[in-house]
């Protein structure tokens, strides 16, 4: 793929790309992997602690404690995003903050915050699902298809 793009460049552009590549600082892959692992693991650890809290103090089962745990993680992510803390953590940890629940909440809230000056309907309402909309649509369609398949399997068996 990269070679196809190079073929479309003029010789001067190719020369510039080569010079730019030589002067590009190396990526600290080990640091990035470590930070992502630690922060992603910490988010999951916090989620497990919240779930255990619901099980111990509110007598939920492991299955029923999952939904309120997810809600609390979403709430924490929204609050931290609103305060600008989640974005600072994401700059340091990179992919580690993309744990599905918290990363998804962050993407929705970030878009809403960015467009709040345009008003409630056209700004927040119209833009908050730009990043997350495709995920919501795919998740809904996948759940529908899987539900149909499961129903057909039960009817046949």
Give residue-wise pLDDT tens across range 37-95.
999 999 999 999 999 999 999 999 999 999 999 999 999 999 999 999 999 999 999 88
**Would you place residue 117 in the very low, low, confident or very high pLDDT band (cuts 50, 70, 90)?**
confident
Task: Tell me how far CA of residue 16 lies from CA of 20, 21, 73, 107, 112, in angstroms.
Answer: 6, 8, 46, 35, 39
The first and second tokens of residue 50, run together, are 């919240």
Whether the pLDDT of residue 6 is over 60: the answer is no
pTM recorded for the entire structure: 0.70
Whether the pLDDT of residue 150 is over 70: the answer is yes
- Spans of all domains in the chain: 34-156
Average pLDDT over residues 14-27: 90
Looking up tokens 């590549």, which residue turns up?
A: 21
pLDDT at 147: 95
pLDDT at 1: 45
pLDDT at 5: 54
Q: For a pLDDT cut of 90, what percent of the chain falls above it?
A: 55
pLDDT at 37: 95
pLDDT at 114: 79
CA distance 150 to 67: 23
Q: What's the whole-number average pLDDT of the chain?
A: 88
CA distance 145 to 46: 32
pLDDT at 132: 72
């Amino acid at each position: 793929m990269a070679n196809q793009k190079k073929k479309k460049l003029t010789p001067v552009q190719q020369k510039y790309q080569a010079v730019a590549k030589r002067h590009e600082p190396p990526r600290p892959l080990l640091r990035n992997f470590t930070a992502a692992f630690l922060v992603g693991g910490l988010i999951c650890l916090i989620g497990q602690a919240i779930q255990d809290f619901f099980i111990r103090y509110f007598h939920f089962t492991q299955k029923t404690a999952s939904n309120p745990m997810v809600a609390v993680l979403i709430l924490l992510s929204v609050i931290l995003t609103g305060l600008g803390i989640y974005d600072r953590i994401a700059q340091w940890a990179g992919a580690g903050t993309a744990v599905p629940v918290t990363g998804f909440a962050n993407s929705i809230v970030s878009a809403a915050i960015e467009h709040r000056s345009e008003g409630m309907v056209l700004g927040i309402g119209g833009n908050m699902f730009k990043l997350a909309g495709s995920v919501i649509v795919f998740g809904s369609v996948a759940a529908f298809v899987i539900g149909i398949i499961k129903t057909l399997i039960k009817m046949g068996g």
